[in-house]
Amino acid sequence: MSEETKCRCLNCLERFPVQPNVKEATCPHCNIKYRISWPWPGQPKVRGLAK
């Protein structure tokens, strides 16, 4: 599967690609680091800010 997984940034509301199964990802638009969860495989969701 080569489909990009994307997450919506809570700050700028842009969608940005995240690597599969990562626990943290940074929005390239505003450089904010988020914790990512995976309620379903291939479907990332922002959980909140990473510390």
Whose Cβ is closer to Zn ion: residue 30's or residue 41's? 30
Our finding on whether 9 is near Zn ion (CB under 5 A) is yes
Q: Which of 12, 17, 20, 21 is the binder for Zn ion (CB under 5 A)?
A: 12
Mapped onto helix, strand or coil, the DSSP state of residue 8 is strand
Our finding on whether 11 is near Zn ion (CB under 5 A) is yes
Alpha helices in 1-51 (DSSP H): none
Residues 6+ apart with CB under 8 A from 18: 5, 6, 7, 25, 36, 44
# binding residues, Zn ion (CB under 5 A): 6
The binding site for Zn ion (CB under 5 A) comprises 9, 11-12, 27, 29-30
